[in-house]
Chains A and B, each alone.
Chain A
Amino acid sequence: MNEATPPKEERSAALSGLGTSRKRVEDARFTQGKGNYVDDIKMAGMLFGDFVRSPYAHARVKSINTEKALALPGVHAVLTAADLEPLGLHWMPTLAGDKQMVLADGKVLFQAQEVAFVVADDRYAAADGVAAVEVEYEELPVLVDPFKAEADDAPVLREDIADQKEGAHGPRRHPNHIFTWESGDRAATEAVLAEADVVAEEMIYYHRTHPCPLEPCGCVASMDKVNGKLTVWGTFQAPHAVRTVASLISGIAEHNIRIVSPDIGGGFGNKVGVYPGYVCSIVASIVTGVPVKWIEDRSDNLMATAFARDYWMKGRISATKDGKITGLHCHTTADHGAFDACADPTKFPAGFMNICTGSYDIPTAYLAVDGIYTNKAPGGVAYRCSFRVTEAAYFIERMIEILAIKLGMDAAELRVKNFIKKEQFPYQSALGWEYDSGDYHTGWDKALKAVGYEALRKEQAERVEAFKRGETRTLLGIGLSHFTEIVGAGPVKNCDILGLGMFDSCEIRIHPTGSAIARLGTISQGQGHATTFAQILASEIGIPAEDITLEEGDTDTAPYGLGTYGSRSTPVAGAAAAMAGRKIRAKAQMIAAYLLEVHDNDIEWDVDRFVVKGSPERFKTMKEIAFASYNQAIPGVEPGLEAVSYYDPPNMTYPFGSYICVMEIDVDTGTTEIRQVYALDDCGTRINPMIIEGQVHGGLTEALAISMGQEIAYDEQGNVTTGTLMDFFVPTAVETPNYQTDYTVTPSPHHPIGAKGVGESPNVGGVPAFSNAVHDAFRAFGLTQSHMPHDHWRIWKTAESLGLHD
């Protein structure tokens, strides 16, 4: 190395590449209120649209009278299904192969369903118009309980497909039945269960909740009649998919549609699907010839756009007397609401629910999921998780606890006994997945040591005795959770959405002076892509992360990709970035060899430059190579330095972790106090530890919300009783406990940089940790299962039912 070349470590540090806690480049604008969200978009002549929504959960729409609304000053148009029908847009396809009413077509099927769309000068005039539209309803019997959906006297909800015996996912046995999806070997599982020493059986309910992003859904649609181009700025987690779907259903050629996702204030799955608001805004812009904005308010968002979970999971788990698990059976009743609008890969109508064998070596298993229609809002999205993985993780982590009770065993010990062993990876699960890599025992031991598990159990036993003696009214719960996720959808061979393969992409251009712009098919909603993807590229191509601009979300400029959800950005687009970077490097190597007048094979990569092997003083930095690529005629090499990569992942990635929560529970008031939350994550290679920690804090807080109070609840008439933030629990700093994070690193063997994805792990692993803590506190008093959310009154009811009140 010549004197002028700084040491490797110094040059490496200057890149802020992989493993650096680089500060988020997004934060400067967000913390100064300089973000650019959909509602910040203001255009000349722009109108505002708002919905007339159904007050009823199930009713026939007898008539809609728009006269008074149209007579109001500032109201320009009122769209109803009758107006959309000639365009074929009164219904739209859902991502799950079903169809959904854009505006009420003869009947309404859930409270807050979109009935008419009022277009007016501004949101005030639109709201006046909404209030003036007269709708005559005839109430119909309401179905809220999915277990009553197939009763003889059950009302038929979807009259449009009542006679259809075949749905998008196979046979339908009842007009309110959507699909049955099976995975695994039913007969073998039944046989194992029949012969087992011990079988534990329980109904595990993961209640209906909602992603509730801080920014609700919205869009601005602008049809330019001069050039025939439609531009839609919106809260889209998958802008390219939206463009293709918009083209297919509207008939507008795809090159004439531009979809832009500006800054997005959180998505969590809520912004994956297509909503009536988007369709109506587009139609309204076409009709009026000016841009039309639609922005939901909070209650609209909670009541009408995609919910999450609502899985009734009936489980049976079998084991030998000494605790070796032999079989798992799960039958799930999935409440999908009025339309099946899940955003799952096409071949997976229950998402990846068949990851429900979790972290355990379970030789035989079977899963069946029945999708059911009810008079509730559609959705079923992956709220900060890969498709239905939270449900699966909660199910298995509850079943393990319940089995431990049945066996009279310590639940930590039962887990250790059944974990898939390090040497078993890649591991083929009974329900068909190939887990790429893992080392569960190491992290688990680390977690138990960190919290002082044995001492905690001792303290808990002492507390139970003190409680029995009447010396205290609080109990101690130790919530254990070991989760395995399946993220990074996914391999095109089995993962698509509406026929679009779930690959992703990155395009990179190096500028003459050695800085760069990279564009990806994903879209950040707070994950910090502009920070972390630049770090991947920095390490791959040897230019500092701060010299790389990241762009996402504009379909006119970004390469095609399936967007951001299901922790797929790093596993798929992150891999595409690394691969595009390697293409750049490959071309750079040819250029460097030419400049150094040696053969390609005689130079090697060294952090930020190519060096002649054995002659470290002879090198070309990436910056020099970039300039040369623009100003020198190099034989056999095209000018410029650009690359694009479309990455089709060979497998999913399988992040995992060990979470433990210690909780105090007051049996008289049902209130809880969280004493400790320890979260150990293994997400493979760690790109930016600070961002990982931030993601874990955020995900744990949502997990806390879900397990301890957050729900979308309906009364018997199908009214939403939790439609505002007064009743829908979103924790503030006061309710949020301190978090202790930790990690192990087990890289993914098939991902170019070994990264697995982390954004959703804390939600997947957190919910069972919190819920198990509540259950565990009452274990000594005979509790096996109580349903989430564990809010004050439900905990109180548990204590009451166990006879703990006088």
Chain B
Amino acid sequence: MVPGAFNYHRPDTVDGVIGLLGEWGDDARVIAGGHSLIPVMKQRLSDISHLIDLGGVGSLKGIGVDGGTVTIGAMTTQHELISSDALAAAAPIIREASLQIADPQVRYVGTIGGNVANGDPANDMPGLMQTLDATYHLAGPNGARTVAARDFYEAAYFTAREDDEILTAVSFAATGGGYAYEKQKRKIGDYATAAAGVLLSMDGGSCTAASVALTNLSDTPVYCEAAVDILVGSSVDDATISAAVKAAVDVSDPVADTRGPVDFKKYVAGVIVKKAIQSAKARA
């Protein structure tokens, strides 16, 4: 399997990228790590004749922690997310989740921007961004705008990003309290059978804030509002956890594939969400 012929561009500014996207329209696509895009091109599933490499745009890289806000440039690799101690201090769930993505080879190249912009429900970062209530920063011909991660995903591979826009960064508030990202997969290098991200803050035996989101259990990542409502204000005892798990599983909508049938996936989703809540509580 080899891709068809394409032209390769490597601009060094965001404006340069936007300009090229405007010029080539539907025939153009930006490439970050290429670990999702190149397989698609090899299978000739999409006809891309202009590839715009974001690798030359220095401003898209880097991790900043500033006054409780974390900003990560789109071209930051998963490996860089894992190696950043500042990030691990500000939002340890990122490292925990990133270490469960694919394998080291993929993580050296795969980027956070490509992972969240792609709209693949199997990717882990979109679910993680739901958990973090992140903000996506987009740039396009009409300037910059932001979209909440929780509003970004419309359906598999359909997002709020316009074709002539790119994602420049994600940002979110540094986290306190407990956290967990739990994932079941068949093997190293596999996407999730079911995965869940949880943040949980406890004060005086009572849950003051929580967040629960699911990966690969629907055609978009799922933020589980009902589960969060059950958890907040409770003591997060076994009965509450069971109720929250049920609420989370109820909003999942997995499809059968080689990882298994729907009843199995929903059951495992319950197990995973439960583990994640318990683990987050233990760390809170």
Mark A residues whose CB is within 8 Å of B: 123-124, 127-128, 131, 297, 299, 668-671, 709, 713, 721-722, 726-727, 729, 731-732, 734-735, 791-793, 796-797, 800, 805
Contact = CB atoms under 8 A, between A and B. Distances in A.
A709 B260 CA distance: 12
A123 B1 CA distance: 9
A791 B193 CA distance: 12
A127 B4 contact: yes
Contacts of A128: 4-5
A796 B260 contact: yes
A793 B188 contact: no
B103 A732 contact: yes
B283 interface: no
Nearest to B268: A669
A223 to B, nearest CB: 26
A793 B1 contact: no
B14 to A, nearest CB: 32
Nearest to B184: A669
B184 to A, nearest CB: 6
A796 B2 contact: no
A613 B5 CA distance: 78
Nearest to A123: B2
Contacts of B188: 732, 734-735
16 contacts: A127-B1, A127-B2, A131-B44, A668-B271, A671-B184, A709-B186, A709-B187, A721-B257, A721-B258, A729-B187, A792-B186, A792-B193, A793-B260, A793-B261, A796-B260, A800-B263
A731 B187 CA distance: 7
Given A124-B2, A797-B264, A732 B187 contact: yes
By CB atoms of chain B within 10 A, which of A669, A671, A734, A800 has the most?
A669
A236 B186 CA distance: 33
Contacts of B2: 123-124, 127
Give chain B's interface residue range (CB within 8 Å of chain A): 20 to 34
Q: Is the interface of B mostly helix, strand, loop or mixed?
A: loop
Q: Is the interface of A mostly helix, strand, loop or mixed?
A: loop
A793 B260 CA distance: 5
B267 interface: yes
B35 interface: no
Contacts, number: 66
B180 to A, nearest CB: 16
B270 to A, nearest CB: 9
Interface of B: 1-2, 4-5, 44, 103, 184, 186-191, 193, 257-261, 263-264, 267-268, 271
Top 5 nearest A-B pairs (CB, nearest first) are A793-B260, A734-B188, A793-B264, A727-B258, A732-B188
A719 B193 CA distance: 22
Nearest to A734: B188
Contacts of B1: 127, 297, 299
Contacts of A124: 2, 4-5
Given A668-B271, A669-B271, A713 B258 contact: yes
Given A732-B189, A734-B187, A805 B4 contact: no
A729 B259 CA distance: 11
A668 B269 CA distance: 10
Nearest to B190: A726
Contacts of A800: 263, 267
Nearest to B274: A668
Contacts of A731: 187
A127 B264 CA distance: 39
Contacts of B271: 668-669
B23 to A, nearest CB: 25
Given A670-B268, A796-B264, 6 more contacts: A127-B44, A668-B268, A669-B271, A726-B190, A792-B259, A793-B261
A793 B259 contact: yes
A709 B259 CA distance: 10
A722 B268 contact: no
By CB atoms of chain A within 10 A, which of B2, B44, B184, B261 has the most?
B2
A4 B10 CA distance: 74
Nearest to A721: B258
Contact of A722 (B5, B103, B258, B260): B258
Contacts of A732: 103, 187-189
Nearest to A300: B1
A670 B258 contact: no
A625 to B, nearest CB: 55
Contacts of A792: 184, 186, 193, 259-260, 264, 268
Contacts of A131: 4, 44
B44 to A, nearest CB: 6
Nearest to A705: B187
B3 to A, nearest CB: 8
A722 B186 CA distance: 13
